[in-house]
Structure 1
Amino acid sequence: MDLRYTAEEEAFRTEVREFLAENLPDDLAAKGRNGVKLTKAEMEGWHAKLQSRNWLAVTWPVDYGGSGWTAVQRHIFEEECALANAPKVVPFGVGMLGPVLLKFGTEEQKQEILPRILNGADWWCQGYSEPGAGSDLASLKTRAVREGEDYVINGQKTWTTLGQHANRIFCLVRTSTEGKPQEGISFVLIDMDTPGVELRPIRLLEGGYEVNEIFLTDVRVPVSNLVGEENKGWTIAKYLLTHERTNIAGVGNSTKDLEKLRTLAQHMVRNGKPLAQDPVFMSEVAEVEIDLEAMRVLNLRALSAAKDGAAPGRESSMLKIKGTVIRQRIQSLTRSALGAAAAPFPASDLPENARTVPEDAADAAADYFNHRKLSIFGGSNEIQRNIIAKDLFGA
């Protein structure tokens, strides 16, 4: 038993493991193990299984359908799900909009929207980035002009992850051009089937499709869909991003990937002996493992800071930086371990007579290329370093 955990926490870990053993279908675990993307139906099915135990919205208060877990319980749950190759919870409704509504939404918005997130009636996507406003998000140009009881919205959003599955989107829009750029931004909710909303797919480097661009042309949205105060959306945007960055860290996924890398090193032979006996390679693995252990402690600190709706603060930026660097480093070492077997295409795309690569090689290159984005989205790592410096030193 890991001595860092109490008996009660170890009992909770056992409960999570038993739940996963009973409820995680083998085909979903296999897809998670091999990096195969899930269908919308598969993701929704897993969400429903979690919600049957009130284990979907783990950061929400019990009164609104959340788990009421401690920070340590949330950490254990994430870690065990990753090790079991369970699907990750799609974060946009549960992990992003939910906390925003709990802190800034009206009671009417909470009562209407939160249950629909939990029961799967609504699938949300995020409308933050624009072609000219990524890391410099405050320079966004999508404009919302009030006409009576509606906003009329025109603009473009990009990198909208899983937008092809969504029926609703939360957006940052400009409602004023006076003062600093941050002072004229508002946070609004939009139905994707509203006239004037157009979604176009973006094909990624490794050939996958999970992000989109969205065009908004004279889209009419009720003013009641505004969250918080008009022109005060920048505060909400920053609050949401702290939760997003904490999720991006992916402690559980890195733990799983590191175990997979260690197993791989036992089987791959280089210079006549297993790679696990190569002191240079294994020293790099050990360095990553040390960094991951340090990040695990920081993750617990950030989860504790997020208790009762508080924003994690600079810890979320620290986690985002370190978590993405660790994840990318593990994937780089995996490709190095596989050598020529880490072909830049999925094994399933090879002709039958060419499928001689190890099972562990499947999608290794695709994962590597796809996850170059980790250090960019959610606020680039360079920007996160500036945020940390400003918070620490008032620069």
Structure 2
Amino acid sequence: MLRKRSISRQVLDVTYAVVFVLLLLPSTLSGPYGSPAVVVLIGFGLALAVRRRSPRLSLALAWVLAVVQMVGGVLDLSADTAIFAILYCTAAYGDNVIRRLGLASAVGGGVIAALYLAYVDGNPFGSPTEEVYQEPRFLQFALLLAGLWAMLGLSWALGRLAYARRSAIESAHARELAEVHQARAEHEVAIEQERNRIARDMHDIVAHSLAVVIAQADGARYVRAVDPAAVDTALTTISDTAREALSDVRVLLGQLRHSQGDLPTPGPGDLERLFDQMRATGLTIDSSIDPTEVSLGAGTHLALYRIAQESLTNALRHGDPDRPVTVTIESDSAGVELTVRNSVLPRRSSPETSGHGVAGMKERASLAGGMCTATGDGSSWTVTAWLPAAGSSTKGIN
């Protein structure tokens, strides 16, 4: 199997092979083996030229040339130095099978070469007799085997080290790339979460403010003939509500431009101001707030305010205007529970199916570590939210 390599690397390999052949060609031509030795030299040059592009082909060609040397008795060993580079490349650039074949070639080839050089003496069909296992032939074989194993094994081991180093570098690069992708994904998730948060705030601000403005405008239009003073009160409420909404929207737009700054966090006193603002629209609110003090974080205060705001806005838009809305806030050491209940008209749509407000309330409560439910029985609509105190754990809503 041919490996994909850059053109410059392949040109370098071919150049190295050509230089190898040219350097050894004069001594090979002047040697006793003549043309067969030149053929072997050129064959090893070809094996060197493809050693990195195709380690499998290079190793197979080296074995064929080794067999040709032994069968033909071509003992010009200068060309055999190419085997070291070939074994290196089998370990450095080959797959698992080629690496194992390269190691087996280093071990088996060393044994065959040592046997051939020590016993055959250039006769490929010779057979050892009993005295070949005696001194000094056996000692010569042992020394040759040790030397060949050392050189061939070292070549293969260096290639294996090069492969391990290259794999480590590639793994490090892959890990760095994965970390970059992870950081980018986390950044995108953070941006999406921030957009969702701003969208929730925008919905709460705009929906609440427009509901108040519409209610005040309709009321002023109906009573202007009989109570002109009420028109001034309604216009004042519209002006204050619109001005407050405009201020909040400007803060949100500033966050979109600069990714910084937060909306002012509503405090406990802002709930009473919210109730008064909704009463000014004509909504009747019966509120009961537990005076027990409980420590709530800034995010929990905001969630409590927004859930109450959305619930009252839904009551104004979808509820029965002739019946009061009951708001109950109970506190204990674990947290605070908000309950908003209003009557609904049979022909009006349910808040659950008419927008995104109910889903936003549930998400706000969840992000604050609490829970929120919104249920209706056909004649009334009840929103119940439990939000934990600072440092307390989440519990369910009874």
Q: TM-score range by the shorter chain?
A: under 0.3
TM-score (norm 1): 0.24
Larger Rg: 2
Which structure has the higher relative contact order (CA within 8 Å, separation 6+)?
1
Instruction: Please report the TM-score for the alignment, with normalisation by the length of structure 2.
Output: 0.24
Hey, which of these two has a bigger chunk of strand by percent? Answer: 1
